[in-house]
Structure 1
């Protein structure tokens, strides 16, 4: 049985969503996907916060904002609006409700002779913009890094057109290209930092490494203690900074998160503190290696 939520197919094999028209893939974090399954199983019902915490995180000790973060992540992934809340509704003092009008159940599609039985495993793209989980691609696996980079480029393009919806500041499609530039930092050996750059747009003032150098050093020490790595992809504009965090622990377990920080230039110190805080929270929430 296929589960469709707002034209996004819930795909357990990818731990994420596949858009039925465009084929776009959005990978979710482990806990975010479990929460989506829980809400789908109770579509049209009010699900209490305690029940969600129990079903999603089981007996794990998590932060107070984990539930809010996960709900926000799902809203972003499904194209919901946190204010209007058409798909996932907040029921004050009770919990959350997945609007069953946006849920469609369809029979499984038969495999055709030309349809491949397996597909490349796309890298997860998480799910949020208030706080995060994330994961770093294994440097030894070049193919996965290429797949991830391509997927991030697509995401970046979408973010850019949201940032530049039109007018004098938007570059013509024919002359606008998105590229990835790595910001090397030898002293932070556990961190890889990549900037998404659009030709024709001056983003020299939005170089993340120059704004949060002190925080990056602290994050690197934290990653060293946890035997983990962090990869950061970001796109900086005047009004907001879009950041993708990818955290990987020593046993290859990965978490991902997308954040959008508005008015980030007003306090760049807080920007670094936020990334540090969410990286630490993610490391603490990741299950220990078996």
Structure 2
């Protein structure tokens, strides 16, 4: 019967090539030669094995690198939770080799465990006893008491990244819901007339969109007040009317001028970035472009009121005898 090897609460499971913790059930896989190295150290527990002996027993005279054995020892220490500095389980013997402390090794077979199980059962409770016709008695041992306690399966733990992804999806859904609610519940676009009384030939209209509650009217009036007053005088002298439609989006200003007189109509749309940062530059731009569009307007020519009458009178003068 092949004995089972337990090292520091870790059972060597050759079938799966791994170590299984006897309390938590955690499973840690090992490489083929790492598992064989641990088996060789356990079989010579308490003995110092040189590097040459371990190489011959584990790798069987195969050609390996100089770091193969130290790397395998390091991996075993990590798997067995053995501190590389204290080296309580696997110790490095300077200039000699390695040794596995015998106190951490335990070889157990099923036959070794049966007497312990029966003895423990006898102390705790009496076993069922049967007798035959000859008077001989025998003790019945339950099959489940003959076996070692089952190793609990490792608890399933959800990886952290799954919870992180789930949280991001929920957050994104909430943001989309808020945006959709604001968009569909917002009032439609509204036109609000601003400061039209102050200018006889200029009509200022702010475009207010339902989802944008901010207004740029006050800031724009502070920066363009003198400019609009000068443009209004210029428009009045040229008999031109101007309508201004404006709205803001972030740091940009959409400014559209529409100029009309009795015989012409012109329009200019501008998108001005960072319009709040330099009021003088904004004022100069609005005045320059407004003046340019006003000068492009066609001049409407009006004939004197008596011209048509005089022409009509001359064309319909009374006929005389000489004319006939």
Regarding TM over 0.5, the answer is no
Q: TM-score scaled by structure 1?
A: 0.40
For CA contacts below 8 A with separation 6 or more, give which structure has more relative contact order: 1
Relative to its length, the structure with more helix (as a share) is 2
Q: TM-score scaled by structure 2?
A: 0.36
Which has the larger Rg?
A: 2
